[in-house]
Copies of this chain bind each other. A is one copy, B any other.
Amino acid sequence: MILLDGKHTSNQIKEEIKDTVSGMKSRGERVPHLAAVLVGNDGASLTYVGSKVRSCEYVGFDSTLIHLEENITEAVLLKQIEKLNQDKTLDGYIVQLPLPKHIDEEKILLAIDPKKDVDGFHPANFGRMALELDAFIPATPFGIMQLLERYKVPTNGKHCVVVGRSHIVGRPISILMSQKGPAGNATVTVAHSRTEQLAELTRQADIIVMALGIPEYLTADMVKEGATIIDVGITRVADDSHPKGYVIKGDVKFDEVAQKAHFITPVPGGIGPMTIAMLLKNTLLARQWNAS
Contacts and interface: CB of A to CB of B under 8 A. Distances in A.
Interface stretch (A57-65, A125-133, A224-232): A125-133
Contacts of A188: 189-190
Interface string A98-116: 0000000010000000000
A165 interface: yes
Interface string A191-210: 11011100001000000000
Query: How many monomers of this chain does the complex have?
Result: 2
Contact of A187 (B167, B171, B185, B201): B201
Contact of A131 (B126, B175, B194, B195): B126
A23 interface: no
Contacts of A50: none
Interface in A54-75: none
Interface in A159-195: 159, 165, 167, 171, 174-175, 178-179, 185, 187-192, 194-195
Given A124-B124, A127-B127, A165 B178 contact: yes
A289 to B, nearest CB: 15
Interface of A: 106, 122-128, 130-133, 156-159, 165, 167, 171, 174-175, 178-179, 185, 187-192, 194-196, 201
6 nearest CB pairs, A to B: A123-B127, A127-B127, A126-B127, A189-B189, A157-B196, A187-B195
A191 B190 CA distance: 12
Nearest to A168: B131
B195 A157 contact: yes
6 contacts: A123-B126, A126-B131, A127-B130, A130-B171, A131-B167, A189-B190
Contacts of A106: 133
A106 B133 CA distance: 10
Nearest to A167: B131
Contacts of A132: 167
Given A122-B127, A127-B126, A130-B130, A192 B178 contact: yes
A125 B179 CA distance: 19
A178 B167 CA distance: 12
A90 to B, nearest CB: 22
